[in-house]
Amino acid sequence: MSPRLTRRALLAAPPALFIPGRASAASGVETFDIGNGRGAEWRISLARPEGLAPPGGHPCLWLLDGNAMFPVALRARQAAGAEGVALIGIGHPGEDRPDLARRFLELTPPTLPESFGGRRGESPPETGGRADFLAFLDTVLRPELDRRLPLDPGRRTLFGHSLGALLGLHVLFSRPEMFEAYALADPSIWWNRRSILDEQAAFLAGMRLAGGRAARPLRILISISGRAGQAAAVARMGPPNGRETAAALAAVPGMRVGFRDMVEETHGTMIPPVVADALRLAAGRSPEEIAAG
C-alpha cells in the first residue's frame, strides 16, 4: 500500500483509537488466528463473560475493526453493565493498526474507480470483498465460537463504526437474521455514491411485499457525530446519512430503532461512547432508551 493510500484510508478508518497491546490472560481474554482456507487469516479476540451461561447461552457483541474496538469494549464492559456479554473482536494479525488494505476490501461493495474522485494518479484500493468476509463470519467464525463457549443465537449484536457501520447496514439489509441487534456509528453512507441507499430501498420494498413487518424483532441503534472537520469531509459525509436511515427503519413494525445525534463528538472521539452504547444494547437495553441517554 502506498503512503498516499494510507493517508486517504484514515478518512474512512477510526482515526483516534487504534490501541496497541493485548489484554492479559488474567482478564479472561484469548486471542487466536483463523482463516477460511484461502489467503490471510483474521485475528480474533474473545473475552468470556462472567458467571455461568444462562440456559440459552451468553449474549455476545461482535466488534468489527477489532484491533481498535475490542480493547475499548473490554475496558468499558463492567461500567456499561455488560459483564455477562461475550466480546468478540474481529481484526487482523498485529498489535497496532489494522491492515487498511484488507479493511477496504472486506468492508465495502465493489466500488467504481471514479467514485474515489481525484486521486492524483493513485490507484484506488481493492474493494468488493464483503461477501467473502461475511461468509467467513457466518460459516467459519460462528461455529468456532460456538465450539468454545455457549452463545445464544438469538442474542447476537453487531457493532461497526464508519466503514464497519456501512457493512453493518449491508448485513441488516441483506441477511438480517445474522444478528438480533445492530449498533452502527457514523455509517459511511457516502461510500460508492451512496449505493447503500439502493440496498435500503430494496430492503424496505421487500418488507412491504412480505406484509410490511420485520420477520422477527430487531433492535437497531444508529449514531452520528457532529462531523466537525475540513469542509470537504463535511460535504462528503453530510445528509442523507444515518438520521434518514434510522427514520426509515423506525417506520417498520417489528423494528425498535434508536437514533443518537452526537453533536459534540467527532468521527474519532465518538468511539468510546458508542462502544459503551453497543455494550448496553448487547446486554438487553432498548435502543430507544440508550438513544435518550
What is the model's pLDDT at position 96? Answer: 64
Alpha carbon distance 260, 225 (integer Å): 8
Q: Which residue has the higher pLDDT, 78 or 28?
A: 78
How many angstroms separate the first and last alpha carbons of the chain? 41
What is the model's pLDDT at position 215? Answer: 78
233: confidence class by pLDDT, cuts 50, 70, 90: low
Alpha carbon distance 143, 260 (integer Å): 33
Considering the four listed CATH numbers 3.40.50.1820, 3.40.50.1220, 3.40.50.300, 3.40.1390.10, the one that applies to the domain covering 3-17+27-291 is 3.40.50.1820
Q: Which residue has the higher pLDDT, 1 or 277?
A: 277
> Is the alpha carbon torsion for 160, 112, 136, 44 positive or negative?
negative
Radius of gyration of the chain, Cα coordinates, nearest whole angstrom: 18
Given a cut of 80, whether residue 58 has pLDDT beyond it is yes
CA 90 to chain centre: 10
Q: Where are the domains of the chain?
A: 3-17+27-291
Grid cell at residue 35: 482463516
Alpha carbon distance 48, 50 (integer Å): 7
Q: 203-216: per-residue pLDDT in tens?
A: 999 988 888 778 78
What is the model's pLDDT at position 218? Answer: 95
Q: 165-202: per-residue pLDDT in tens?
A: 999 999 999 999 999 999 999 999 999 989 999 999 99
What is the rounded average pLDDT for all residues in the chain? 86
Given a cut of 80, whether residue 229 has pLDDT beyond it is no
